[in-house]
Amino acid sequence: MSDRFGFEVGRQATRKQFAVKRSPGSIWFGLSTSGLIGWTIAAPAVLGALAGLWLDKHHPGPHSWTLALLAAGLTFGCWNAWNWVDKQGKTIASDTDATDE
pLDDT in tens, 74-96: 999 999 999 988 887 887 777 66
Based on C-alpha coordinates, what's the Rg of the chain? 22
Query: What percentage of the chain exceeds 70 in pLDDT?
Result: 74
pLDDT at 56: 95
Give whole-number Cα distances, 33 to 15, 38, 59, in Å: 22, 9, 39
Name the pTM for this structure.
Answer: 0.63
SS3 label, residue 5: helix
Alpha-carbon dihedral 64, 67, 70, 72, rounded to 10 degrees: -80
User: In 23-64, which residue ranges form alpha helices assigned H by DSSP?
Assistant: 27-58
Phi-psi region of 59 (alpha: psi -120 to 50; beta: other; left: phi over 0): beta
Instruction: Look up residue 61 and give its DSSP letter.
Output: -
